Chain A
Amino acid sequence: MTVQFVRDRPRTINEVAALLWFVAMTAMPVARAAEGALVMGVFPRLNASETTTRYAPLADYVSEQLGRKVSLVTSKDFEAFWRGIEEQRYDIVQYNQYHYIRSAKTYQVIAHNKEFGKSTLAGVLYVRKDSNITSLGQLRGRTVLFGGGEDAMMGYIAPVYMMLQAGLKKEEFKSRFAVNPLNSVIGVYHKQADAAGSGDGAIEQPALKNAINTDELTVLAVSEQLLHLPWAVKRTMPARLRESIQSALVNLENSEAGKKVLKSAVLTGIGKAEDKDYDPHRKMVRAVTGTLSPQ
C-alpha cells in the first residue's frame, strides 16, 4: 500500500486563472474558429484544467509561428470531443490513435507525440505481483479494468488484442472501465480488478507514482510498439497551412521556446507522421472491434 500525503498549500493563482480561462473557452469555441482563428482540440485524457495548463503554451506557440490566432479548446468528456470531430470543429486536433483511424476520412495525420523520449508506446496489461497471475490465460474468468473506454487505443484495444491473440474471448473475462489508464492501474493496485489495461508509460507517470506504490505491480503482457498519439488537421486545410503547422510542431525541439512549450505539455518532442504509420493500429482495431469505424 502506498499512502500519498497532502501538502498544506493553497491552490496556486495559476490554477485559478486557468480554470477561469477554461470556462470562458468552453462557452464559445466555435465562434472563435469562425472568425478566422484556428481551433486546436485536445482529447480529454486529462481533465480540462490540466489540459489547458499543458497545451495553452503550445497553441500560443503555433499561433505565433503561423501568425494566426490558434485557440485551444477542451471538452468535458469524450462524447463532446467526438461530436467536435464529427462536426469538424477542430482545425488542429490531438487525439488517440483509434480516434484518428475513425476520423481519417476528414482528418489527416501530420505528426505524433514523443513522450518520455519515445515516439511509440505499447498496450500493457498490469497485475499485482501478489496476484499470482503470470499469463494471459489466467485472466479467464477474471475482471480486467481497462483505462478509458472501448475506444482507448492503449487502455483497451491493444490489451484486448493481446488477450484475443492469447486465445481468450471477450466473454471469458469481465471488462470494467476506468476513466483513464492511470485509474485502471490504481484500481488493480487497490484490488478492484485482477488486471489493468493501460499504456506502457502509465506506470512511469508521476501522478501514478504519487498515488500508489508501483513496485507492487508487474507487467503481464506488452503489445507491439505503436506510434504515439497523432496530431491531425482537417483534410480540407490548405496544404501550405498544413505544412506550416507540421513544421511548427516538428521544430519545437529545435528552439528554446519550443522546448519550454514541450516541457509544459509534458512531451519530449513531436515528430512527423503519415497515415500508413497507423496501419498497425488499424489491425488491432479491426481485430477487437471487428470494424474500423463502428457506429
Chain B
Amino acid sequence: MQFGLRAKFTVTVLVILTVTMAATTYYFIHTSIERQEQQLHERGRALGRLISLISPQAILAFDYLQLNDYTREVSSQPDVVYGLVVSPQGVPISSYIRGSNTSLRDRIEAARPNTLPSTLQSLGGEDELLHLEFPIIHNEVLLGRFLVGMSRESLQKQIRRQLTVQMFVFAAIVLFLGAAISAVFRFSVLRPIEKLIAASDEVARGQYPVVEVTSADELGMLARAFNAMTDEVKLKQAKLHRQANFDALTGLPNRMMAFERITLEINRAKRSGERFALMFIDLDNFKDVNDSLGHAAGDQLLVDIGARLQACMRDADSVARLGGDEFLVLVSNVADEGEIERIAARMLEAASEPRELGGRKVVAKCSIGIALYPDNGEDVEALMANVDNAMYQAKAKQSGSVMFFTKEMNIRLRERMELEQDLHVALELGQLALHFQPIYGAASRRPTGAEVLLRWRHPERGFISPAHFIPVAEASGQIVEIGEWVLEQACRCWSGWRDRGIEPGFLAINISGVQFRRNFSRRLGERLSTYGIPPKALELEITERVLVEDHDQVAEELSSLRALGVRLSLDDFGTGYSALTYLKRFRFDVLKIDQSFVAGLPDNPDDASLVKAILAMATGLDLKVVAEGVEKEEQLHFLVTHGCDFAQGYLLARPMDEKAYASYLESGQADEPVCLTLPPTGETTAEEAAAVSFKTF
C-alpha cells in the first residue's frame, strides 16, 4: 500500500503532535505529582506538628480520651489513613484508622501492638501510603511519637482523572490540529501540486496548459516556472515540429510532412470517394547550376521554384520539397487527367520562366511524373514509388516532359533493376566479352584498326544490346568498373597480338563521362606502360556530352591524354550539341559521323549536305573523319568522293570476337582490299592505318 503525500504529512504531523502532547502530559503530570506529593507532605507535617504541639498536656494528664479526640480529628482529615500516638516505648496509646480502607485496617489489626509502629512504617514504604512520624516532646522529655499515614489514593485518583482529562483534551487537540493541518495542506499544497500534475499530464499528451498562479510562495514560483517551462517547451516543440516537417530552405513541407498529408488525403479520399494526384517534379540539370553558379545560386533557384510551384496551386493543394531538386505536389479532388495536365503545364511554364541568378539569366526546366489515387496506388508507398517511376520516365524521355504513371513503367523499371543486378555479376561470371569491328581507309579499303565493342551474353536472356545495358551501368556507376575492364582487356589483346607478330593497328575505345573524371589519364598511362603499348595505338572516343559536364576538368584531362600521346576522337558528331566551340577549345584528332547521317546517303539531300559540310569543316580543321554505319557501296562512294578518311560498317566488315579478329588479322585479310563495287580512290595512308577506332557499343 502506498501512502500519498497528504497521508504521509498528516501522519508525520500527528506523530509529532502526539509525541509533543505525550511529553507535555508527562511533564505536567510529573510536575503535578511532585507538587501534590509535596502538598501531601506539607499537610502531613502540619497535622503532625499540631498534634505534637497539643498532645503533651493530654499525655501528661493521661487524658487518653482527649488524645483519642486528637487522633480521631486527625484521622478524619482528607487523605489521612491513620493517626497514632505511641509511648516512647512504642506502645500505642491512641490510634484511629480510617474505616474505608479495609485492607489496610485488616493488616493493621493483624499486627501486634508492639509491632504496630514498624508495621505502619513498612506500609509507608508502599506507593499508596505516606508514613510520617513526629516526636512529642515536653520540656525536652520525649513523651511519645505521633504517627500519621497519608494516603496517596486520592492523589493517584486525581492524577488518573487529570491524566484521563488531559489525554482526552490532547487527543481532541491532536485530532483537531491534524485535521486542520491536513485541510490546510490539502488546499495550500496538494491542490496546486495536483494542478501541476494534471498540467504535466496534459503536456505529456501534447497540450500546453497555463497553470493558474494563486500565490507568491514556493508553489506559486513553481507554477510560474512550470508555465515558463511549458512556454519554452511549446516553442521548442514548434521549432522541432517545423524542423522535422518543413524544409529549412524553402519553408515548404518536407518529405515527412508530405507523407503525412498524403496519408490524410488517402483517408479523406477513401471516405469521399474522390481522386487526387501526386506530381513528382525534378529539376533537369540542376547540378549544372550548382557547379557553374555556386550552391547559393542553386539554393536560390530551389526557393524560387518552390514559390512558383506554390503559386500555381489551389489552397487545398500542397507543395513539398522532398530533398535535393525534387518537389512533390498533392492535387486534391481531381476531376480528370486533363485537369492535371493543365496544372502540370502551368508548373512547367512557371518553372521555366527566366530568372536572374548570380548575375546570369537562367532558365530551369523540370520533369514531372504523375500518379493518381486510387488508380496508381492506394497507399503512400505505392503512390510514391509509382510517381517516382513516372518522373524517372519523364526525365529519361526528354527534358521538360510530363508523364503519367503506367503499369508498363513498372515493368520497365523492374527489368532495369534486374538488369542492374545481373550486371553486377556479369564481369565475375565472364558474361562480358570484347568484339572488334574493323575500320577501313575509305579510299584504300584496307583495315587500319578496329573499334572495340562490348558484348553481353546473358545466360537466360541471350544477347543484350549495349544500348540497353550501358545506360544502366552509367546510372548505377558500374560503368567505371566495366570501362576499366574494357580498357584492360583491349590492352591485353593488343599486347598479345603484337607478341604473336600480328600488327593489330589502332584500337578505338569509347570512354564514359563518369569514367573520364577519375584520374583516367594517369591510370591509362600506367596501363600503357604495363603492356608496352605505344600511345598512338589507342584512340579514345568521347561524346559531346562529356565535354558539357565539366569544362575545366575535361579540358585538364584531355590535355593530359594529349600529352600522353593517345589520339582523341569526338564521337557521334552531329547528333548532339555539335558545338564548334568544342572543336576549337578541345583539340581532337578524329571526328566520327554518326551512322544516322550515313544511312540517308547519298539520296537524302539533308544528310548528304550535312555530311559534306562536316567533311569540309574537318578538312579545314585538319581533322580526320570516320563514317559509321556504312552498309552500301553508294554510301562509301559518296564518302570517298567527298573526302572521308575512314569508314566502318557491315559493308566492310562485321564485328568479330577476339579470336576471330586475331585470325582475321593473321589471315592477311587485312591486307586485302575489301571487295567494293567502286574502285579505291588511292593508297591507304599511314594515318589511315593508324586511325584505328573501336566502340564499346
Which residues from chain A sit less than 8 Å from chain B, CB to CB? 1, 3-8, 145, 176-180, 182-184, 186-187, 190-192, 207, 211
A253–B17 Cα gap in the complex (Å)? 80
A188–B87 Cα gap in the complex (Å)? 13
CB distance from B138 to the nearest CB of A (A): 15
Q: How many of chain B's residues have a CB under 8 angstroms from any CB in A? A: 26
A178 touches B62 (CB 8 A): yes
Of residues 499 through 528 on chain B, the ones whose CB sits less than 8 Å from some CB of chain A are none
B91 touches A191 (CB 8 A): yes
Closest Cβ neighbor of A10 among chain B residues: B76
Q: Which of B65-73, B364-372, B638-646 contacts A (4 or more CB under 8 A)?
A: B65-73
A207–B113 Cα gap in the complex (Å)? 21
B97 touches A179 (CB 8 A): no
- Judge whether B109 is part of the interface by a CB distance below 8 angstroms: yes
User: For residue A191, which residues in chain B have a CB less than 8 angstroms away from its CB?
Assistant: 91
A8–B62 Cα gap in the complex (Å)? 26
Closest Cβ neighbor of A7 among chain B residues: B99
User: For residue A182, which residues in chain B have a CB less than 8 angstroms away from its CB?
Assistant: 65
B62 touches A187 (CB 8 A): yes
- B63 contact from A3, A5, A178, A207, Cβ within 8 A: A178
User: For residue B105, which residues in chain A have a CB less than 8 angstroms away from its CB?
Assistant: 3, 5
User: For residue B72, which residues in chain A have a CB less than 8 angstroms away from its CB?
Assistant: 4, 6
- A176 contact from B62, B63, B99, Cβ within 8 A: B62
Given contacts A1-B113, A3-B108, A4-B96, contact A183 B76 (CB under 8 A): no
B65 touches A207 (CB 8 A): yes
The proximity string for B residues 94-116 relative to A, scoring 1 for CB distances below 8 Å and 0 otherwise, is 01111110000100110011001
User: For residue A186, which residues in chain B have a CB less than 8 angstroms away from its CB?
Assistant: 62, 64-65, 93
- A190 contact from B64, B66, B75, Cβ within 8 A: B64
B96 touches A192 (CB 8 A): no
Given contacts A190-B87, A190-B92, A191-B91, contact A3 B97 (CB under 8 A): yes
Closest Cβ neighbor of A191 among chain B residues: B91
User: For residue A3, which residues in chain B have a CB less than 8 angstroms away from its CB?
Assistant: 95-97, 105, 108-109
B62 touches A192 (CB 8 A): yes
Given contacts A1-B92, A8-B76, A192-B93, contact A183 B63 (CB under 8 A): yes
Of residues 552 through 601 on chain B, the ones whose CB sits less than 8 Å from some CB of chain A are none
Closest Cβ neighbor of A207 among chain B residues: B65
- Judge whether B141 is part of the interface by a CB distance below 8 angstroms: no
CB distance from A105 to the nearest CB of B (A): 31
Of residues 55 through 95 on chain B, the ones whose CB sits less than 8 Å from some CB of chain A are 61-66, 68, 72, 75-76, 87, 91-93, 95
User: For residue B113, which residues in chain A have a CB less than 8 angstroms away from its CB?
Assistant: 1
- DSSP class of B's interface residues: helix, strand, loop or mixed? mixed
CB distance from B219 to the nearest CB of A (A): 66
Beyond A4-B68, A176-B62, A191-B91, 6 additional contacts (C-beta under 8 Å) are A1-B92, A3-B109, A4-B72, A178-B62, A186-B93, A211-B65
CB distance from B409 to the nearest CB of A (A): 125
A191–B114 Cα gap in the complex (Å)? 11
Closest Cβ neighbor of A146 among chain B residues: B62
A207–B65 Cα gap in the complex (Å)? 8
Given contacts A1-B113, A192-B87, contact A6 B75 (CB under 8 A): yes
Give 12 CB contacts A-B under 8 Å.
Answer: A5-B97, A145-B62, A178-B63, A180-B65, A183-B64, A183-B65, A184-B62, A190-B64, A190-B87, A191-B91, A211-B64, A211-B68
A30–B97 Cα gap in the complex (Å)? 44
A7–B99 Cα gap in the complex (Å)? 7
User: For residue A178, which residues in chain B have a CB less than 8 angstroms away from its CB?
Assistant: 61-64
Closest Cβ neighbor of B78 among chain A residues: A8
User: For residue A7, which residues in chain B have a CB less than 8 angstroms away from its CB?
Assistant: 99
A1–B115 Cα gap in the complex (Å)? 12
CB distance from A32 to the nearest CB of B (A): 29
Given contacts A6-B96, A6-B99, contact A190 B91 (CB under 8 A): yes
A6–B75 Cα gap in the complex (Å)? 7
CB distance from B57 to the nearest CB of A (A): 10
A5 touches B64 (CB 8 A): no
Closest Cβ neighbor of A8 among chain B residues: B76
A191–B92 Cα gap in the complex (Å)? 9
A4–B105 Cα gap in the complex (Å)? 11
Closest Cβ neighbor of A1 among chain B residues: B113
A191–B65 Cα gap in the complex (Å)? 15
A207–B93 Cα gap in the complex (Å)? 15
User: For residue B98, which residues in chain A have a CB less than 8 angstroms away from its CB?
Assistant: 5-6, 8
A179 touches B63 (CB 8 A): yes
User: For residue B66, which residues in chain A have a CB less than 8 angstroms away from its CB?
Assistant: 179, 183
Given contacts A5-B99, A6-B72, A8-B76, contact A179 B93 (CB under 8 A): no
User: For residue B112, which residues in chain A have a CB less than 8 angstroms away from its CB?
Assistant: 1
User: For residue A184, which residues in chain B have a CB less than 8 angstroms away from its CB?
Assistant: 62
User: For residue B95, which residues in chain A have a CB less than 8 angstroms away from its CB?
Assistant: 3-4
User: For residue B63, which residues in chain A have a CB less than 8 angstroms away from its CB?
Assistant: 178-180, 183
User: For residue B65, which residues in chain A have a CB less than 8 angstroms away from its CB?
Assistant: 180, 182-183, 186, 207, 211
User: For residue B93, which residues in chain A have a CB less than 8 angstroms away from its CB?
Assistant: 186-187, 190, 192
A211–B99 Cα gap in the complex (Å)? 15
Closest Cβ neighbor of B108 among chain A residues: A3
User: For residue B87, which residues in chain A have a CB less than 8 angstroms away from its CB?
Assistant: 190, 192
CB distance from A149 to the nearest CB of B (A): 10
Closest Cβ neighbor of B72 among chain A residues: A6
Most chain B C-beta atoms within 10 Å of own C-beta, residue among A176, A180, A182, A207: A180
User: For residue B91, which residues in chain A have a CB less than 8 angstroms away from its CB?
Assistant: 190-192
A5–B87 Cα gap in the complex (Å)? 20
- A5 contact from B61, B92, B96, B116, Cβ within 8 A: B96
User: For residue B76, which residues in chain A have a CB less than 8 angstroms away from its CB?
Assistant: 6, 8
CB distance from A282 to the nearest CB of B (A): 28
CB distance from A174 to the nearest CB of B (A): 13
User: For residue A183, which residues in chain B have a CB less than 8 angstroms away from its CB?
Assistant: 61-66
User: For residue A1, which residues in chain B have a CB less than 8 angstroms away from its CB?
Assistant: 92, 112-113, 116
A211–B58 Cα gap in the complex (Å)? 15
User: For residue A176, which residues in chain B have a CB less than 8 angstroms away from its CB?
Assistant: 62
User: For residue B97, which residues in chain A have a CB less than 8 angstroms away from its CB?
Assistant: 3, 5
A177–B61 Cα gap in the complex (Å)? 7
CB distance from B130 to the nearest CB of A (A): 19
A5–B96 Cα gap in the complex (Å)? 5
CB distance from A214 to the nearest CB of B (A): 14
User: For residue B64, which residues in chain A have a CB less than 8 angstroms away from its CB?
Assistant: 178, 183, 186-187, 190, 211
A179–B58 Cα gap in the complex (Å)? 9
User: For residue B99, which residues in chain A have a CB less than 8 angstroms away from its CB?
Assistant: 5-8
A192–B210 Cα gap in the complex (Å)? 103
The proximity string for B residues 226-255 relative to A, scoring 1 for CB distances below 8 Å and 0 otherwise, is 000000000000000000000000000000
Of residues 102 through 147 on chain B, the ones whose CB sits less than 8 Å from some CB of chain A are 105, 108-109, 112-113, 116
CB distance from A77 to the nearest CB of B (A): 11
A1–B100 Cα gap in the complex (Å)? 20
Closest Cβ neighbor of B61 among chain A residues: A179
Most chain A C-beta atoms within 10 Å of own C-beta, residue among B65, B68, B99, B112: B65
CB distance from B591 to the nearest CB of A (A): 152
Closest Cβ neighbor of B82 among chain A residues: A3
CB distance from B4 to the nearest CB of A (A): 60
CB distance from B449 to the nearest CB of A (A): 155
A177–B60 Cα gap in the complex (Å)? 9
CB distance from B689 to the nearest CB of A (A): 162
Closest Cβ neighbor of A211 among chain B residues: B68
A176–B59 Cα gap in the complex (Å)? 12
A150–B61 Cα gap in the complex (Å)? 14
User: For residue B116, which residues in chain A have a CB less than 8 angstroms away from its CB?
Assistant: 1
CB distance from A147 to the nearest CB of B (A): 9
A8–B81 Cα gap in the complex (Å)? 12
A180–B65 Cα gap in the complex (Å)? 10
Closest Cβ neighbor of B86 among chain A residues: A190
Closest Cβ neighbor of A145 among chain B residues: B62
CB distance from B79 to the nearest CB of A (A): 12
Closest Cβ neighbor of B98 among chain A residues: A6
User: For residue A192, which residues in chain B have a CB less than 8 angstroms away from its CB?
Assistant: 62, 87, 91, 93
A184–B65 Cα gap in the complex (Å)? 10
